[in-house]
């Protein structure tokens, strides 16, 4: 959904392009392995107080994609890291 409409865009894309913001309100990510979801800028957290981006990435945080917040082997959330880097209302 980060693409822009250009003169060479198809008629279908030109039709949907003005609706992009409305569509994004209802679209959420299926996390999967988390490698393709930008943790700080993609709207991937359902039922959040406000859509992302909600804040700047903490300066002491090297994590950029959702996968960075998952344990490598179990693919479960690294709760300690999530609680350390995200505001409580998003981390819970």
pTM for the full model? 0.62
Instruction: Tell me the C-alpha to C-alpha distance, in Å, between residue 24 and each of 19, 32, 46, 83.
Output: 9, 19, 12, 26
Confidence of residue 14 (pLDDT cuts 50, 70, 90): confident
Would you state the structure tokens that stand for residue 29, as one six-digit string? Answer: 């990510």
What distance in Å separates the CA atoms of residue 6 and residue 37, rounded to the nearest whole number? Answer: 25
Would you state the structure tokens that stand for residue 16, as one six-digit string? Answer: 């949907």
Q: CA geometry: angle at 11 spanning 8 and 17, to 5°?
A: 85
Q: What pLDDT, in 10s, does the model give residues 15-71?
A: 776 676 666 666 666 778 889 888 888 877 776 655 555 567 888 888 889 999 999
Q: Hey, CA dihedral for 22, 25, 31, 36, is it positive or negative?
A: positive
């Amino acid at each position: 959904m980060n693409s822009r409409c250009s003169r060479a865009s198809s008629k279908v894309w030109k039709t949907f392009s003005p609706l992009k913001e409305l569509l994004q309100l209802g679209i959420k990510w299926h996390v999967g392995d988390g490698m393709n979801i930008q943790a700080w800028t993609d709207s991937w957290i359902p039922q959040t107080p406000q859509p992302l981006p909600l804040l700047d990435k903490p300066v002491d945080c090297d994590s950029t994609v959702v996968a960075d917040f998952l344990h490598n082997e179990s693919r479960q959330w690294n709760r300690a890291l999530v609680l350390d880097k995200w505001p409580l209302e998003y981390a819970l």
